[in-house]
Structure 1
Amino acid sequence: METQAELSANTLQYHASAVDWASDLDFFKVETVFFHRLLDDYFIRLSAPEYVLKLRDIERELLDLEDDRYELDKLLAEHFKKIELSAMDPAAEKTENQQVMHIRIGYLMTELMHKFRHTKKTLFALVEEVVKDNALFKI
């Protein structure tokens, strides 16, 4: 049987990770807004026939990222509630359920981060390509 101190240590660890994840999700929200503005700023150029498919794909990726982030927001909010409840009443702590949820959220966060990085690289490469093509036509 785990002791009270061990339960509290687990709760603190879960809380610390959850706070980091919440911060990452907030950053993703801000950066996603930036990505949409970037697409808006270059929309006319990205609407050219040679870029339309890439534009559609990147917009779909951004929407998928937003959906994933939203779902993670909900899971994390639920996780925070359970962490708070276990901190208030350590006897009621269900470590196995918390641990399973914590591991699941950690996995989903890692997956989201990989998708996010891929989308960011793809978006920046596309905008860079459009800018370079535009610069060639001005010469």
Structure 2
Amino acid sequence: METTISLSVPAIHYYVKARHWTSDLEFFKIETAFFYRLLNDYFIRVVEPAPMEALKQMVSKLSKLEEDEERAIKSVGDQLKQLELISENSIAENPEELANKQVKLEELMSKVNQEYRAVKNELFALVESAIMDTKIIKN
């Protein structure tokens, strides 16, 4: 006879959120890599020397975003692993510890989301500006 272990309602909620965050973070990683390619493979070749400082700042912000994404991936992965171990009855559920970790993850994911959006907005504004400058130069 197979024994099934059920998670508490909060633990199930934490698991669902962590799976959602994992998906978000995978998407962020893919887009962040694209942003680097956009800057390195295309953007640097078409801009005038004047906005080079803006490019350096953008690369720095992308680097920081990547570090924060990696930290979030590790933290969310740790939470998922712990919840899986609880569901397998390998470790006991500690509701207070899970809740504390969840609060920290909520804060971290909120920070990463805000940082990601800000970097993306700044990058798109930079690209738009370069496109407009290129059009002006060609006309």
Cα distance between partner residues in 2 of 1:28 and 1:91: 32
| Alignment check: 8 A CA contact 2:69 2:112 kept | yes
Structural RMSD (CA): 1.7
Query: In structure 2, how many angstroms separate the alpha carbons of the residues matched to 1:13 and 1:78?
Result: 16
Percent identical: 33
**Unpaired segments of 5 or more residues in structure 1?**
none
Do 1:85 and 1:93's aligned partners in 2 also have CA atoms closer than 8 Å?
no
For the structure 1 residues 96 and 138, does the alpha-carbon distance in structure 2 shift closer, same or farther, using more than 3 Å as the test? Answer: same
Match in the other structure for 1:43: 44
Per the alignment, residue 99 of structure 1 pairs with: 99
For structure 2, the 5+ residue unaligned runs are: none
Deviations 1:47-71 (A, max 9, x none): x321111000000000000000001
Deviation at 1:45, TM superposition (A): 2.4
Q: Which runs of 4+ in 1 moved over 3 A?
A: none
Q: TM-score, normalised by structure 2?
A: 0.90
Aligned residues: 134
Q: Against the structure 1 CA distance between its residues 71 and 138, is the aligned structure 2 distance closer, same or farther, given a 3 Å change threshold?
A: same
TM-score by length of 1: 0.90
Greater relative contact order (Cα 8 A, min sep 6): structure 1 or 2?
2
Quick check: 1:11–1:86 contact (8 Å CA) kept in 2?
no
